[in-house]
């Protein structure tokens, strides 16, 4: 699968780790991992396992996993081949992916392995682009989308919810099925400073020329529309402009503008 491949031909592999704490850099370890993998509209494959962390659990009050439950469970290195196979050729999906990827990278490094190199979609960033909610926590997004969730903070239940959430959000963002894998990765992350500067420079140049500029704009309902705008003022992260598509003055968010 290449980055230019159609998203809708791909499989999403939702990954969730339960851990002894929040920081792999401070010795925290994975104690449970789950993968839910499948294509849009199909019943996904689900897999999970507890993991022996070779240290006390420590955060039982969050996930309910005890030291006794982990006695005799496999070490990460023992399940790594299965995990790698389940992720291979798929798009990895996680809610707040940076957290799960940090533990995946750490556990692979401890085992003398290299973490799988796969495209990544972060449903936390995706929900921020698609939904106008006061909170984008996994529980809040699931409630908004009507996604049933079993035991919170257990890997399989969270991975199943994340997999369903990802497809629902992508369906809202791309009803015409045009997104590539690269597009989907870009959609779920915030533009960096350099990317925002490129957009800003183009908008200011068009304003100085008193000429319309054509943009793609993704509104709060995630529907991307191509439109011409005549820039009037740029105020921080907001752009005041006349929208030729709507025939009226509008305010646009800079981070939702893509140049054509």
| Predicted TM-score (pTM) of this structure | 0.78
Q: What percent of the chain has pLDDT over 90?
A: 68
Tell me what pLDDT residue 3 has.
62
- C-beta separation of 17 from 158 below 8 A: no
The reported pLDDT for the residue numbered 38 is 97
Total count of residues recorded for the chain:
260
| Pair of tokens at residue 94 | 């996680």
E strands in 112-191: 120-122
Which residue has tokens 């992720």? 87
CATH code: domain 7-187 is: 3.30.420.10
pLDDT per residue of the chain (260 residues) written in tens, 0 to 9: 666 688 999 999 999 999 999 889 889 999 999 999 999 999 999 999 999 999 999 878 888 899 999 999 999 999 999 999 999 999 999 999 999 999 999 999 999 999 989 999 999 999 988 888 889 999 999 999 999 887 878 999 999 999 999 999 999 988 889 888 988 888 887 777 888 889 999 999 999 999 999 998 876 545 568 899 999 999 888 999 999 999 999 999 888 888 88
Token pair 């015409």 is found at 176
Mention every residue, 6+ apart, whose C-beta is less than 8 A from residue 61: none
Catalytic-labelled residue, pool 42, 63, 95, 153: 153
Residue 63 known to be catalytic: no
What CA–CA distances, in Å, run from 212 to 5, 199, 240, 257, 259? 32, 14, 13, 14, 12
CATH number of 193-259: 2.30.30
Question: Where exactly does CATH 3.30.420.10 map onto the chain?
Answer: 7-187
- Where do the CATH 2.30.30 domains begin and end in the chain? 193-259
1-38 confidence digits (pLDDT tens): 666 688 999 999 999 999 999 889 889 999 999 999 99
**Chain Cα centroid distance, residue 244:** 33
């Amino acid at each position: 699968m290449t980055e230019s491949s159609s998203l809708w031909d791909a499989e999403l592999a939702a990954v969730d780790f339960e851990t002894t704490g929040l920081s792999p850099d401070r010795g925290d370890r994975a104690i449970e991992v789950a993968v839910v993998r499948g294509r849009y509209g199909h019943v996904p494959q689900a897999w999970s396992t507890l993991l022996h962390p070779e240290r006390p659990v420590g955060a039982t009050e969050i996930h309910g996993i005890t030291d006794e439950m982990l006695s005799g469970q496999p070490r990460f290195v023992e399940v790594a081949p299965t995990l790698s196979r389940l992720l291979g050729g798929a798009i990895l999906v996680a809610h707040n992916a940076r957290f799960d990827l940090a533990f995946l990278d750490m556990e692979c490094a401890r085992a003398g392995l290299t973490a799988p190199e796969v495209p990544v979609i972060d449903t936390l960033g995706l929900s921020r682009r698609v939904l106008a909610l006061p909170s984008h926590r996994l529980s809040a997004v699931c409630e908004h989308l009507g996604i049933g969730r079993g035991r919170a903070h257990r890997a399989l239940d969270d991975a199943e919810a994340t997999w369903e959430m990802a497809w629902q959000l992508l369906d809202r963002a791309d009803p015409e099925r045009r997104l590539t894998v690269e597009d989907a990765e870009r959609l779920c992350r915030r533009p960096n400073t350099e990317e925002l500067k490129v957009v800003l420079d183009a908008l200011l140049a068009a304003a100085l020329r008193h000429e319309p500029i054509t943009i793609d704009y993704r509104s709060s309902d995630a529907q991307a529309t191509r439109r011409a705008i005549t820039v009037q003022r740029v105020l921080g992260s907001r752009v005041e402009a006349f929208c030729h598509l709507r025939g009226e003055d509008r305010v646009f968010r800079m981070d939702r503008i893509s140049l054509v």
